[in-house]
Chains A and B, each alone.
Chain A
Amino acid sequence: MGVKQISIFVENKVGNLAAVAKIISEAGVSLASISLADTKDFGVLRLIVDDAYNAANALRDNDYIFAITPVIAVETDDAPGSLYKILTLFEENNINLEYLYDVSSGKKSNNAVLVFKVDNIDKVEELLKSNGVKLLNQEDI
């Protein structure tokens, strides 16, 4: 299962994020989440969108370097300890978490939505499911 995340290479220059936003919006694609990991010179912009296929085509047409990566999205109670519970599961099962971020406006939920990037996505999904964690699909976000 999993959710498709689009990661885009952007240089740290004025107007570069706006340019990406423009391309996405002109493709008629709606953003569900946006997160930016950056260094001194460049950043990796991570998007979850409603139509990854169209977004990818639009980015390719505009010479962007990007990758589509499967990630796990989960819905948790917006309450103390819910992230801790998941991270403890990862730790006990020796799962290497590459990065995570939260999606503040889960469309169909009032709970918190968290996105995780892990190595063995199928195994981790099984683990979360069997521990009662709710996994989301692309359209749930």
Chain B
Amino acid sequence: MGNYFQPEIECASREEIRAIQNERLVKQVKHVYDNVPMYRERMDEMGIKPEDIKSVDDLHKLPFTTKDDLRDQYPYGLLAKPLEECVRIQSTSGTTGRRVVAFYTQHDIDLWDECCARAIVAVGGTKEDVVHVSYGYGLFTGGSGLNGGSHKVGSLTLPMSSGNTDRQIQFMTDLGSTILCCTPSYAAYLAESINERGLRDQIHLKAGIFGAEAWTEEMRHDIEDKLGIKAYDIYGLTEISGPGVSFECEAQTGMHVNEDHFIPEVINPVTGEVLPDGEKGELVFTSISKEAFPLLRYRTRDICILSHEKCPCGRTHVKMTKPLGRSDDMLIVKGVNVFPSQIETVLLNKGYAANYQIIVTRVNNSDNLEVQVEMTPEMFSDNVSDITAKEKELVAALKAMLGIYADVKLVAPKTITRSEGKAVRVIDKRNLYQN
């Protein structure tokens, strides 16, 4: 049997979980109907009253929420609590330059931290551990989520944030970090650097919790071998709370969804029809205990499979596979969400033609984003330094929009590949999705 942070919930019987979900869903639907005009209007249009939702069996009657809704309702439209009761925001990039801002009450932060604490305990974390958090801190949910989880466990927390590899390794050796939390690509990079410096025998890591981007089993084995640890996956999204919506246990065969807070469904992305266990489709979440920013049936665009098969770890919560793909064109580069439309917006704002191609590669386990842009007569100058100055300006504008560095490459007109008249916008050479 494994280690649990909240065994009475994590190992509750299916009937108990169902009872918690029924009670919380009914309450949540009423809360949302009373406080969020968008949901009230939609439910009224569909002729659904909060009283019609009596249990999880009625979940499919509720309207979906999409990323477009979040954009349209920015910033306060989906807020279900008075602002004075909120204590935090987190944010993530959205399409066409509008960010998603999620609000949290103290209750929401606490339940999020508990979810992350479950993930830390599941990989063997205790208050004796030193949890090294190298996710970015700030608006990104990675840093604060695992930071909060580690506090709940009572571990010594190192709020390293990302970057500055020398300092990361120094703290790891000097303070004896035992659990590393970061993106898998940064973990691979750190592993590489530690081995290059011959410091492998001076680190004390035993486990890692790596999420916020897609990674393969090969990458898992590579990190495990290089650091001598067990590497675990974690899943989450700002819209629902952050990392810890689901997490991997010692079985390493999928991530347990924290079902007492988030009800997952898998749907056919075209028809919206709910699919049974074992079928591949778009993952949808309903937050049933959050107060400030509770979303009903939020379409994640991640393609997944759910499984209620009994897990050897003793947890009873449903497991989801790693995302097997996306039902939209979002890319995750260096742990950051990137939409081609954001890049297009920057190009058009800067007076370029919307003729571009995005090429994503992973070299030495580190993502690289290249944006190829076709040269235009307006852009061109006989003076090379004028062109490179404009190129730099574009790099800066892309950085401001995306939050990450993109390499700009100017190419000759009409050279960007077009297939059947439609330009191929994205070439992802990373092969992240295995199925």
Q: Given A9-B375, A41-B409, A41-B410, are A66 and B380 neighbors across the interface (CB < 8 Å)?
A: yes
CA distance A41 to B407 in the complex (A): 11
Residues 57-79 (chain A) with a chain B CB within 8 angstroms:
63-67, 69
* A99 touching B380, Cβ below 8 Å: no
* A67 touching B377, Cβ below 8 Å: yes
Chain B residues contacting A9 (CB-CB under 8 Å) are: 375, 380, 410, 412
* B383 touching A117, Cβ below 8 Å: yes
Least distance between A127 CB and chain B CB atoms (Å)? 21
* Chain B residue total in the interface (Cβ 8 A): 18
Chain A residues contacting B128 (CB-CB under 8 Å) are: none
* A63 touching B410, Cβ below 8 Å: no
Q: Is B324 an interface residue (CB 8 A)?
A: no
Chain A residues contacting B387 (CB-CB under 8 Å) are: 39, 42, 44
With CB as the reference atom, state the residue of chain A lying closest to B377: A65
Residues 369-405 (chain B) with a chain A CB within 8 angstroms:
375-377, 379-384, 387-388
Residues 19-47 (chain A) with a chain B CB within 8 angstroms:
37-39, 41-44, 46
* B382 touching A11, Cβ below 8 Å: no
* B380 touching A65, Cβ below 8 Å: yes
* B413 touching A65, Cβ below 8 Å: yes
* A65 touching B412, Cβ below 8 Å: yes
* A39 touching B413, Cβ below 8 Å: no
* A11 touching B411, Cβ below 8 Å: yes
In-complex Cβ contact of B382 among A7, A16, A42 (8 A): A7
Which of B382, B384, B410: most chain A CB closer than 10 A? B382
Which of B379, B409, B412: most chain A CB closer than 10 A? B412
Q: Given A9-B375, A11-B415, A63-B413, are A38 and B382 neighbors across the interface (CB < 8 Å)?
A: no
Chain A residues contacting B411 (CB-CB under 8 Å) are: 11, 42
Q: Is B197 an interface residue (CB 8 A)?
A: no
Which of A9, A43, A69: most chain B CB closer than 10 A? A9
* A117 touching B410, Cβ below 8 Å: no
Least distance between A72 CB and chain B CB atoms (Å)? 14
Q: Given A11-B412, A42-B410, are A67 and B381 neighbors across the interface (CB < 8 Å)?
A: yes
Q: Is B429 an interface residue (CB 8 A)?
A: no
Bitwise, A82-120 to B at CB < 8 A (1) or not (0) is: 000000000000000011000000000000000001000
Q: Is B414 an interface residue (CB 8 A)?
A: yes
Chain A residues contacting B383 (CB-CB under 8 Å) are: 44, 98-99, 117
Chain B residues contacting A39 (CB-CB under 8 Å) are: 384, 387-388
Chain A residues contacting B381 (CB-CB under 8 Å) are: 7, 44, 67
With CB as the reference atom, state the residue of chain A lying closest to B376: A65
Chain A residues contacting B415 (CB-CB under 8 Å) are: 11
Chain A residues contacting B388 (CB-CB under 8 Å) are: 39
* B410 touching A67, Cβ below 8 Å: no
Chain B residues contacting A10 (CB-CB under 8 Å) are: 412
CA distance A46 to B388 in the complex (A): 17
CA distance A46 to B410 in the complex (A): 18
Q: Given A11-B412, A42-B410, are A67 and B384 neighbors across the interface (CB < 8 Å)?
A: no
With CB as the reference atom, state the residue of chain B lying closest to A99: B383
CA distance A64 to B413 in the complex (A): 7
Q: Given A11-B412, A41-B410, A63-B413, are A69 and B382 neighbors across the interface (CB < 8 Å)?
A: yes
* A44 touching B413, Cβ below 8 Å: no
Least distance between B381 CB and chain A CB atoms (Å)? 7
* B377 touching A46, Cβ below 8 Å: no
* B380 touching A63, Cβ below 8 Å: no
Chain B residues contacting A37 (CB-CB under 8 Å) are: 384
Least distance between B10 CB and chain A CB atoms (Å)? 53
Q: Given A9-B412, A65-B412, A65-B413, are A44 and B384 neighbors across the interface (CB < 8 Å)?
A: yes
With CB as the reference atom, state the residue of chain B lying closest to A11: B412
12 CB contacts below 8 A, A to B, read A5-B382, A7-B380, A9-B380, A11-B415, A39-B384, A42-B411, A46-B382, A65-B375, A65-B412, A65-B413, A67-B381, A69-B382
Give the interface of A toward B (CB within 8 A): 5, 7, 9-11, 16, 37-39, 41-44, 46, 63-67, 69, 98-99, 117
Give the interface of B toward A (CB within 8 A): 375-377, 379-384, 387-388, 409-415
Contacts A7-B381, A39-B384 known; 11 new A-B pairs at CB < 8 A:
A37-B384, A39-B387, A39-B388, A41-B409, A42-B387, A42-B410, A44-B387, A64-B412, A65-B377, A66-B380, A99-B383
The 3 closest A-B pairs by CB, nearest first: A7-B382, A69-B382, A37-B384
